[in-house]
Structure 1
Amino acid sequence: MSGCALVIFAKAPVAGLAKTRLIPALGAHGAAALAGRMLAHAVRVGAAAGLDSLEICAAPDASHPVFGRLAHAHGLALSVQGDGDLGARMHRAFTRVLAARRGALLVGTDAPALDADMLAGARAALHTHDAVFVPALDGGYALVGLRAPQPALFEQMAWSTSTVMAGTRERLRAAGLRWAELPAVADVDEPADLAHLPKGWLP
């Protein structure tokens, strides 16, 4: 087995499917356009981090043209998240990737403050820890990295709530795992979060 992979979880930037909680502020098409921009940014950051492999794990499938364009431009792989809640899909991705890699980092596209240095730091943390996280300011997390599949971290979690990171810490302690946490970043999920976008990202 070799290296560390980066897996980017992303929804196709389709109006009414992507970033739906931002629709009240941006409209369905505006929210989808922002989702596309955030996806492209996440891929650029991932490509700059120097990891051993990079893939987009897409939902509901990988047929949207933006996925193909990004794959071609950056030489990345495409996969599909499949069925189940977020935890089931994340665990499935880790199990698949860690069958061939010594470590894997999984991110979404919602945290534009995640940069290449943070990804490199997360990869380095996996040399000495079982897991690594970048917490999100809303109580979730923006990055999770593992050296081996850990189903207990993902089963029956109340996703998209303010208790996700706290509950994950409890599960990490119960499993006797060593984990590292990097500085927290902001997720952009709700209209109030738009203040965390880089300047010039909104029309």
Structure 2
Amino acid sequence: MSLEKQRGRKLETTETTLGGAFYPFYQWVFGEDSEFVKNVERKLAQARMADNVEMFLSRALAVGLIAGIGLWILGMITGWLFVQTFVDGALLGIQIPESLEALRLLRTPLIVLISGILFGTIGFIIGFGSVVSIPYFRAGGREREINTLMPDGIAFMYALSVGGMNQLEILRAMAKADDTYGELSKEFQSIVLETEYFDTDYRTAVR
């Protein structure tokens, strides 16, 4: 089965989800060769998140739009209250000459519109950014944990090597020690999986 067919089947099973509902919007926003999409897909893999990048970004867009619409409404209400309190109210009481009647008529809708757009943009950025940042934070956490455990892992593998184990046995031992070496062990699990089930040379799998 081709990659495109597999991807299409995954999309069909998620049509009723939030990501599936916003998938057409994802297609409209991001092109097929988007570098941003490729970066997010790479971070999803590094974070070991099973999400499909298309559905993940579709959900992020959905969250961003929902947050944006919510803050857009809040922004318009805030703008209207600002006009009533500070512009037309007793606090400032700004008066516009009759010669600028058109500006006076447009003053309130312009302030309401601008505040709505400003709040809505902020809401979309916060909603979309908070979802997209998840794999970046998780990947960074995994990287820090792996770097911390690497010296202990190397010492463990050296001890096994001195004890007479061959390279493949050492890789399997590291893969099984996930209770001790955590994310480092999971990387070795991927190596073992590739060597045992995909007939890949372990040197190639390590690379």
TM-score range, shorter chain: under 0.3
TM-score normalised according to structure 1 size: 0.23
| Greater helix content | 2
Name whichever structure is richer in strand by fraction: 1
**Which structure is richer in relative contact order (CA contacts within 8 A, separation 6 or more)?**
1
